[in-house]
Amino acid sequence: MASDLYTVKTRDEAIEEFERDILPACIEQETEWQGGEWKWVDECHRSETWNNWTDSLCKNDEISDWQYNNWSHPDSCEG
C-alpha cells in the first residue's frame, strides 16, 4: 500500500527512465520486425512494455499500487 512506502517515483521520473532505458530496445525490436527499417510505432508493443515496466516498479516498491493502477501510458507509447 502507498502508506507503507517512504518514497516513490513520480510519473515524470518513471517516464524519463522508461524513455532512456527501456524505449530504445522497443525501437530496436520494432525496427527488426519492420524489416530492418523503422517505419511506425507499434503501440501494442510499447503499451505492453510500459505495463510490464510499471508492474516491476510496483513490485519493487518504487511506485504505489495507486500509481500503478492509475497512470496512463506516456506519449512515447502512441503513434
- pLDDT at position 1 is 45
Mean pLDDT throughout 25-32?
95
Map out the domains of the chain as residue ranges.
10-72
30-74 pLDDT tens trace: 999 999 999 999 999 999 999 999 999 999 999 999 999 999 999
Checking if the pLDDT of 6 tops 80, the result is no
Please name the residues in contact with 61: beta carbons below 8 A apart, sequence gap of 6 or more: 4, 5
- pLDDT at position 79 is 81
Strand boundaries in the chain, DSSP class E: none
Q: What is the value of pTM for the model shown? A: 0.87
